[in-house]
């Protein structure tokens, strides 16, 4: 271990841990001995999955179970956890045997992701659930923001479709109701209609696609205002 685990704990929780031994165990790979981070990893994995699931449920109230599951999988996987572990320089704190060190074990995704989960478990046992949750939200803040930005970049037709699918409703129908203007400067009017309740919204644009997107955006605004 090349760096002081106490310093790492202070960076994550703001003060020295009550049990430095727990933090050291979380940073100990199984190659280094029988007292290692495997059991803490098991606990941290469960805590991380729960906290991320709760956050996604709150931040995406319109998302279906499938959408939430996909977002959680994006946030909680070996590569994503290893990226966060590297940002924390976790590899500098790991304890491995000489063979694992020579083979670059401290830089492997699997070792780093396991250590991060173990560290979450250790902080939970040392500081309680509230502090462990706060730590998770802090180190995952950038990743959670990326997921939210990906959602914001979805076009209106996609967002409307997902909104309806989440409520097991029929998908919308789009129909061109008018085309005006010269060939080089045409304007399209498109009707977005919900077959299950008959509601309609119109959209206008310089192409059929843009008119469809505008009508979908208007329909989505209408639905979210009245539900």
The yes-or-no answer on residue 204 being catalytic is: no
pTM value is 0.68
Is 45 marked active-site?
yes
Domains along the chain? 5-152 (1.10.1520.10), 156-226 (3.30.160.20)
The tens digit of pLDDT for each residue in 160-193 reads 998 898 888 999 999 999 999 988 889 999 999 9
Q: pLDDT tens, 121-143?
A: 999 999 999 999 999 999 999 99
Which is the catalytic residue, given 18, 24, 38, 45?
Answer: 45
Tell whether residue 114 is among the known ligand binding residues: yes
- Both tokens of 203, joined, read 């959209």
The reported pLDDT for the residue numbered 1 is 47
Which DSSP helix (H) or strand (E) runs through 223? helix 208-226
User: Is position 117 annotated in a ligand binding site?
Assistant: yes
Among 24, 67, 117, 189, the active-site one is: 117
What backbone torsions phi and psi does residue 96 show, to the nearest 5 degrees?
A: -130, 165
Helix spans in 63-155 (H): 65-75, 78-87, 98-102, 109-127, 129-139, 141-152
């Amino acid at each position: 271990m090349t760096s002081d685990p106490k310093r790492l704990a202070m960076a994550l929780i703001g003060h020295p841990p009550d049990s430095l031994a727990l933090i050291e165990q979380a940073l100990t790979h199984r190659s280094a001995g029988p007292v290692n981070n495997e059991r803490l990893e098991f606990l941290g994995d469960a805590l991380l999955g729960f906290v991320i699931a709760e956050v996604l449920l709150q931040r995406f109230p319109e998302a279906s179970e499938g959408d939430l599951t996909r977002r959680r999988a994006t946030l909680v996987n070996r590569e994503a956890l290893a990226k966060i572990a590297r940002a924390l320089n976790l590899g500098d704190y790991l304890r491995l045997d000489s063979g694992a060190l020579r083979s670059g074990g401290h830089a492997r995704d699997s070792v780093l992701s396991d250590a991060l989960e173990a560290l979450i478990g250790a902080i939970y046992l040392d500081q309680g659930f509230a502090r462990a949750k706060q730590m998770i939200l802090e180190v995952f803040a950038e990743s959670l923001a990326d997921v939210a930005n990906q959602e914001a970049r979805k076009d209106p037709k996609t967002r409307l479709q997902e909104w309806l699918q989440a409520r097991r409703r029929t998908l919308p129908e789009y129909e061109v109701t008018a085309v005006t203007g010269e060939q080089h400067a045409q304007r399209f009017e498109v009707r977005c209609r919900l077959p299950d309740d008959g509601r309609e919204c119109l959209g206008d644009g310089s192409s059929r696609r843009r008119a469809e997107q505008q009508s979908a955006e208007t329909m989505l605004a209408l639905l979210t205002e009245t539900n």
